[in-house]
Chains A and B, each alone.
Chain A
Amino acid sequence: MRKEIMVKDIDCPNCAAKIERRIQKLEHVDAASLNFIGELLTIEAAEEHMKAVLDQAKEIIYDVEPDAVIEG
């Protein structure tokens, strides 16, 4: 399944790329992309793993960019 969440206030596109790469490497993630300008994070993962994946993704975001605001 695919899940999209808004991630606001990421500082620079480089940080976004870092976040994206780390989320892509997570277990159970089939595909992930973070559109810096659109402020949209798209994650594809199996439904049963989605919740865990999202939690890990949020951790990564706050780790790279403590000021980020995650919506949805």
Chain B
Amino acid sequence: MKSEILNAKMKKRLKRILIGLGLFCILIVIGLCGVYDLLEARIGMRNTENIRLILSLLIYLAVGHDILMKALRNLRKGQWMDEIFLMVVASLGAFVLGEYDEAIAVVLFYETGEFFQDYAVKKSRKSISELMDVRPVSANLKTPEGVRKVSPDEVNPGDILVILPGEKIPVDGVVVKGESSIDKKAMTGESVPFPAECGDELLSGCINLNAVLEMKATVRYADSTVSRVLQLMQQQGRNKAKTEEFISRFARYYTPAVVILAVLIALVPSLIFREQTQTWIYRALTFLVISCPCALVLSVPLGFFGGIGGASNCGILIKGAGFIERLSRLDTIVFDKTGTLTKGSFAVVRVDAAGDRDTVLRMAAACEQFSTHPIAVSIRNAAEGMELPHAEQVQELSGLGISAQIDEKPVLLGNRKLMLSHQIMLPEVEEDAACTMLYVAYDGAYLGVIFVADTIKDNAKETLEQLKRAGVTNMVMLTGDRKESAQAVAGQLGITQCYAELLPQDKVDIGKKIAAREKTKRYTAFVGDGINDAPVLAGADVGISFGGIGSDAAVEASDVVIMNDDLSRIPLAVTLSRKTMRIVRENITFALGAKTAVLVLSACGITSMWLAVIADVGVCMIAVLNALRTIRVNHRYLAG
């Protein structure tokens, strides 16, 4: 694994650091053992100081020739306000002051720090690209001449493909032969494998786990889910976070500021107060050592990058660091009702029967046998597995319902008006505003009433409560539906603000109105999946859509895409964003605090150049390691 991350350039650097470190240790040991004194005393050698200087310079050059060259190059281009150049000034200055060990330590630790940063960045790039590695490389096309390996682009709808265990599914399709388990983790963040057998749909980009499957491609590669996801991933990283911009602005002024301070420290005390010049120059050089803002400049974007990677791993695609920032400060969330909070399909929620409940459903289902209306489908689904009587002379009565004959007796299915027009005696039934009510009468007598409604998603209420606990206190629901049914859904979910009977244009206006509040540092998210939601999604601070059920337009316009359509990933996205922001803030505070502390201590002469460079590299390492924590997602979140 390691060798893949370390490229030739880095290997060379590592070797140089290790050799330098070894030689440096030897040099110190020689000094400590009093070899120089020995040489002077025994052989009568003079000027051992010069030997020490030459040895030190050799090690210095061995470790730092790269830095020296770079500094020279930058100087020629007139970029002298550059941390590499300053590092060189500091170390050469130390030589002049006779502090040879310090000079070597500065370049040695600087190189170590750089190496470590490079490694950390490469490693996180790699681990994230592994997480997001969904691109299928090839497809095994079944032809009359045998199985042929082709590029996924060459697969046509209708082609039969063979998927071996461990292979990625190249295009969307349907299983035609075999039984296996499918790992959808890379695509949806679902960690439990799904069983797949004949007739089941296969999502491209998922991995076939344990047995050979044969599938029929239903679409081309370009129209497959996996290409859609890859396109979305490319959009990541366009939007930078305000914190990132702040840090890169800060970094611009940090280095010059430290340099000015260093110059002042070197000149003022010695010129004005006639203090010892050498002491103050040494302190000024120590300043230069910590002039590099890299701990900050690296750890902040690295933290955001990790946060985006960690979220992708849970099936949440966040299209940029800026949205992590906004998600973490979310206080209002606007939901489109149908398909988002509700399943977007009708279901029988209740049956009030005068006699037998199943008889009511059987009669109703028989009348609805050939209708494709969503309500008819819901009734047929409810009666699934029951033996249906045979209905004849089925007639649709527009605006009323259906009349038919079963066993040569009239059966009626429809609204109250239909029943009253046939003089059916109805009992007192409590109206339910959220539902469509279908009365059933047989042979002139009332049998019962079926309540059909667009059902609320199982985890909708829980999700909203999680969001509330996460500080998103303001919930709004928008819908084009009737007021009564909208309010019933809102009531069940505990949503107080509800706008119903909206036209698509109204949604945009209301979305704008909700988002355009006073400029607080709080943000509004809009959740929706329909084509008509796209303008609202694009206009919201954070637009959230669903990758599976969402229309292409909605997914394209949104900033956060929930790949597995699971509503509960929204509070998770908020939680992960908060965690990322917390880590980023920790790093900023820590790095700035530590740098300030070192600056103050150096100015007072309490630290040495040694300590300063070690502190600087240490701060950077800790900040980078801390930033890498954002990639990891606690599985506690996923379970919940």
Interface positions of A (Cβ within 8 A of B): 4, 9, 11-14, 17, 20, 33, 35-40, 42, 63, 66-67
The answer, among B9, B298, B305, for a CB contact under 8 Å with A38, is B305
> Whole-angstrom distance from the CB of A15 to the nearest CB of chain B?
9
Categorize the interface residue count of chain B. 20 to 34
Complex interface: stretch among B231-239, B483-491, B500-508? B231-239
Known: A33-B238, A38-B237. A14 touches B121 (CB 8 A): no
Is there a chain A Cβ closer than 8 Å to B125's Cβ? yes
The answer to whether A40 and B77 touch across the interface, beta carbons within 8 angstroms, is no
Q: Is A35 touching B297 in the complex (CB atoms < 8 A)?
A: no
**Distance in Å: Cβ of A29 to nearest Cβ of chain B:** 15
Contacts of B339 in A (CB 8 A): none
Contact A37 B234 (CB under 8 A): no
| Residues on A with beta carbons closer than 8 Å to the beta carbon of B114 | 11-12
- Minimum distance in angstroms from A7 CB to a CB of chain B: 12
Which of B117, B234, B236 is close to A12, meaning CB atoms less than 8 Å apart? B117
Interface residues of B in 69-123 (CB under 8 A from A): 73, 77, 83, 114, 117-118, 121
Q: List, sorted by A's number, 17 A–B pairs whose CB atoms are closer than 8 Å.
A: A11-B114, A13-B294, A13-B301, A14-B292, A14-B293, A14-B294, A17-B251, A33-B240, A35-B240, A36-B121, A37-B124, A37-B301, A38-B236, A39-B125, A40-B237, A66-B73, A67-B9
Closest to B292 in A: A14
- Shortest CB distance B254–A (Å): 10
- By a CB distance below 8 angstroms, the chain B residues around A67 are 9
**Complex Cα spacing A17 to B294, Å:** 11
Which residues of B294-341 have CB atoms within 8 Å of chain A's CB atoms?
Answer: 294, 297-298, 301-302, 305
A12 to B294, CA, bound (A): 8
Q: Number of A-B pairs whose CB atoms are under 8 Å?
A: 49
What is the CA–CA distance of A37 and B298 in the complex, to the nearest angstrom? 9
Across the interface, do B251 and A14 meet the contact criterion of CB distance under 8 Å? yes
CB distance from A66 to the nearest CB of B (A): 8
Bound-state CA distance A25–B234 (Å) is 25
Q: How far is the CA of A11 from the CA of B236 in the complex (A)?
A: 22
Residues of chain A lying within 8 A (CB to CB) of residue B83: 14
With a cutoff of 8 Å between Cβ atoms, the chain A residues found around residue B77 in the complex are: 63
Mask of B339-360 contacts with A, CB within 8 angstroms, 1/0 = 0000000000000000000000
Query: Distance (Å) between the CB of A59 and the closest chain B CB?
Result: 13
- By a CB distance below 8 angstroms, the chain B residues around A63 are 77
Chain B, residues 248-261, CB within 8 Å of chain A (1/0): the string is 10011000000000
B residues less than 8 Å from A66 (CB atoms): 73
Asked if A17 and B297 sit within 8 Å, CB to CB, the answer is yes
Given known A-B contacts A12-B117, A14-B83, A14-B251, A37 and B297 have beta carbons under 8 A apart: no
> Is the Cβ of A13 less than 8 Å from the Cβ of B238?
no
The chain B residue with its CB closest to the CB of A13 is B297
- In the complex, the answer to whether A13 meets B236 with C-beta atoms within 8 Å is no
A50 to B: closest C-beta gap in Å: 17
Shortest CB-to-CB span from A22 to chain B, Å, is 11
Question: Contacts A37-B121, A37-B124, A37-B302 known; A42 to B238 CB distance under 8 Å?
Answer: yes
On whether A36 and B294 interact (CB within 8 A), knowing A14-B83, A63-B77, the answer reads no
Residues of A within 8 A of B301 (CB): 13, 35-37
Residues of A within 8 A of B238 (CB): 33, 42
What is the CB-to-nearest-CB distance from B329 to chain A, in angstroms, rounded to a whole number?
A: 22
- CA A9 to CA B234, docked complex, whole Å: 19
Distance of A13 Cα from B301 Cα, bound (Å):
9
Q: A37 and B240 in contact (CB under 8 A), knowing A4-B234, A14-B297, A63-B77?
A: no
Contact B237 A35 (CB under 8 A): yes
Bound form: Cα–Cα A63–B117 in Å: 22
Q: Which residues of B contact A17 (CB under 8 A)?
A: 248, 251-252, 297
Q: Which chain B residues lie closer than 8 Å to A11 at the CB level? A: 114, 118
Is A13 within 8 A of B237, CB to CB? Answer: no
Q: Name the CB-closest residue of A to B236.
A: A38
Question: Apart from A17-B251, A37-B121, what are 17 other A-B pairs with CB-CB below 8 Å?
Answer: A4-B234, A9-B9, A12-B114, A12-B297, A13-B248, A13-B297, A13-B301, A14-B292, A14-B293, A17-B248, A17-B252, A33-B238, A33-B240, A35-B240, A38-B236, A38-B305, A66-B73
Complexed CA–CA distance, A14 and B251 (Å): 8
Q: How far is the CA of A35 from the CA of B237 in the complex (A)?
A: 7
Q: A-B pairs with the 8 shortest C-beta distances? A: A38-B237, A13-B297, A37-B305, A35-B237, A17-B248, A13-B298, A14-B297, A37-B301
A17 CB to nearest chain B CB (Å): 4
- Measured CB to CB, the closest approach of chain B to A49, in angstroms, equals 20
- The verdict on A37 contacting B251 (CB below 8 Å), with A12-B297, A13-B298 known, is no
When distances are taken between beta carbons in the complex, the residues of chain A under 8 Å from B298 are 12-13, 36
Q: Please give, as numbers and ranges, the residues of chain A lying within 8 Å of B124 by CB-CB distance.
A: 37
In the complex, what residue of chain B is closest to A4 when comparing beta carbons? B234
Give the CA-CA distance A14 to B249 in the complex, in Å: 10
CB distance from A4 to the nearest CB of B (A): 7
- Tell me which residues across on chain A come within 8 A of B73, comparing CB atoms: 66
Q: What are the residues of chain B within 8 A of A20 when measuring CB–CB?
A: 248
Residues of B with C-beta under 8 A to A13 = 248, 294, 297-298, 301
**Is there contact, CB below 8 Å, between A37 and B125?**
yes
Among residues of B, the one whose C-beta sits closest to the C-beta of A12 is: B294
Q: Which residues of B (234-283) have their CB < 8 Å from a CB of A? A: 234, 236-238, 240, 248, 251-252
Instruction: Name the CB-closest residue of B to A39.
Output: B125
Complex CA–CA separation, A28 to B241 (angstroms): 24
CA distance A63 to B78 in the complex (A): 12
Nearest-CB distance from A12 to chain B (Å)? 6
- CB-CB under 8 A from B252, the residues of chain A are 17
A15 CA to B606 CA, complexed, in Å: 32
Alpha-carbon distance between A14 and B234 when the two chains are bound, in angstroms:
23
Instruction: For residue B620, give the distance in angstroms from its CB to the closest CB of chain A.
Output: 11
In Å, the complex CA distance between A26 and B482 comes to 54
* Complex: chain B residue closest to A44, CB-CB: B238
**Considering the chains assembled together, what is the distance between the CA atoms of A9 and B9 in angstroms?**
10
Q: Which of A14, A17, A36, A42 has the most CB of B within 10 A?
A: A14
Report the separation of the CA atoms of residues A11 and B7 in the bound assembly, to the nearest whole angstrom: 13
Please give me the residue from chain B that is nearest to A35 by CB atom: B237
Q: Which residues on A sit within 8 Å (CB–CB) of B248?
A: 13, 17, 20
Query: In the complex, what distance in Å separates the CA atom of A12 from the CA atom of B302?
Result: 12
Tell me, in angstroms, the Cα distance from A20 to B247 when the chains sit together: 14
